Amino acid sequence: QVRLVESGGGLAQAGGSLRLSCTASVNIFRVNMGWYRQASGKQRELVASITRDGRTNYLDSVKGRFTISRDDAFAVYLQMNSLKPEDTAVYYCNAISSSWGWGQGTQVTVSS
């Protein structure tokens, strides 16, 4: 069973920044990974993804503000700048199109 642990969330003011980290219990260097978020009362959505060869893709609403990256075999990161209140959600990481379970997520709250 793969274990994913997200951290780095918190309370930020609009315009502020946060950096989320995701640590996996297995080597994910060759895995296509994504950051997802779920706002209260809404469905979970894919925010950013990074392929095994480093190509990235972003939800339109976060393009230019969020950056997904990886720098070791067991972690993936999400740098979030120019935060907006609508970015408020629980953020999760997971492999793309996998059967892995979900971690506990990390809460991001952006105040106006």
Structure tokens belonging to residue 52: 């095994």
Around Cβ 68, how many Cβ atoms within 10 Å?
23
> What does the pLDDT look like over 59-106, one tens digit per residue?
999 999 999 999 879 999 999 999 999 999 999 999 998 889 999 999
CB of 22 within 8 A of CB of 36? no
> What does the pLDDT look like over 18-71, one tens digit per residue?
999 999 999 999 999 999 999 999 999 999 999 999 999 999 999 999 999 998
